């Protein structure tokens, strides 16, 4: 059955691969599943046809036969459960990999995303520097704990899993920042994720969309 996902017609990150369709593309590439992409404008995101698929008017969504899903975490979990390569066979190891998926989205992503938003929307506020410091301190705490847990290992719990896939995409938002550089273990972890052939295919595919929409 054909898989169709949605993505931005013109991603605000200019093809850096930070939009959440990237996670889904990467998971599909790891799973060896072909997929099509329906590109949407910001206006189309808030129209009834898309709201029927994604109640909050966001990308990504996932359609396969009569199944429609929203939420990048739920979609990646669905792909990982249906296909090999993203979750271990052993039941306990599988549960732990899923715990890392939740940790990426619930524990590590919120302060990182809030910092990104603050840098765009709150820069002119008189309290901006103070807010940034608070957010960066909480990011540092999360990165410190994550870095200690990862230690010398390549991946968070044995073989590469959907937990690593989500964690790497979350950390990528800090790529090139002094914050991530403070944790060389995590910089190397992110680089290992980016070096995976499936990541590269997904990255190139989303970049091609941006390039086609912005020639020259």
Ligand X SMILES: N[C@@H](CCC(=O)N[C@@H](CS)C(=O)NCC(=O)O)C(=O)O
> Which residue, 142 or 183, is less far from ligand X as judged by CB?
142
Q: Does 59 bind ligand X (CB under 6 A)?
A: yes
Contacting residue, 9, 15, 20, 37, with ligand X by CB under 6 A = 20
Distance CA 173, CA 135 (A): 14
Buried b (16+ CB within 10 A) or exposed e, 158-176: eebbbbbbbbbbbbbbbee
Contacting residue, 44, 57, 179, 207, with ligand X by CB under 6 A = 57
> Which residue, 19 or 87, is less far from ligand X as judged by CB?
19
Least separation in angstroms between residue 6's CB and ligand X is 9
Q: Does 72 bind ligand X (CB under 6 A)?
A: yes
Least separation in angstroms between residue 22's CB and ligand X is 9
Least separation in angstroms between residue 164's CB and ligand X is 17
Backbone angles phi, psi at 155, to 5 degrees: -130, 170
Residue 51, beta-bridge partner list? none
Distance CA 195, CA 192 (A): 5
Contact 173, 146 (CB under 8 A): no
Distance CA 184, CA 152 (A): 11
Contacting residue, 39, 45, 132, 207, with ligand X by CB under 6 A = 45
Indicate the residue whose CB is closest to ligand X. Answer: 58
> Which residue, 72 or 206, is less far from ligand X as judged by CB?
72
Distance CA 114, CA 136 (A): 10
């Amino acid at each position: 059955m054909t898989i169709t996902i949605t993505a931005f017609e013109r991603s605000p990150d200019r093809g850096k691969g930070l939009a959440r369709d990237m996670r889904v593309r990467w998971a599909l590439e790891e799973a060896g599943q072909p997929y099509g992409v329906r590109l949407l404008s910001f206006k189309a995101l808030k129209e009834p046809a898309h709201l029927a698929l994604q109640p909050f008017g966001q990308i990504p969504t996932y359609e396969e036969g009569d199944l429609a899903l929203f939420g990048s975490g739920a979609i990646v979990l669905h792909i990982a459960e249906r296909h090999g390569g993203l979750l271990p066979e052993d039941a306990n190891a599988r549960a732990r990999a899923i715990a890392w998926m939740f940790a990426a989205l619930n524990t590590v992503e919120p302060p990182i995303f809030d910092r990104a938003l603050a840098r765009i929307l709150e820069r002119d506020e008189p309290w901006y520097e103070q807010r940034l410091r608070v957010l960066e301190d909480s990011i540092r705490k999360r990165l410190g704990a994550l870095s200690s847990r990862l230690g010398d290992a390549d991946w968070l719990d044995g073989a590469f899993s959907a937990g690593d896939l989500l964690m790497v995409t979350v950390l990528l938002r800090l790529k090139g920042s002094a914050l991530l550089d403070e944790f060389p273990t995590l910089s190397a972890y992110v680089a290992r994720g980016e070096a995976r052939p499936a990541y590269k295919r997904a990255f190139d595919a989303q970049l091609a969309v941006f390039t086609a929409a912005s020639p020259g």
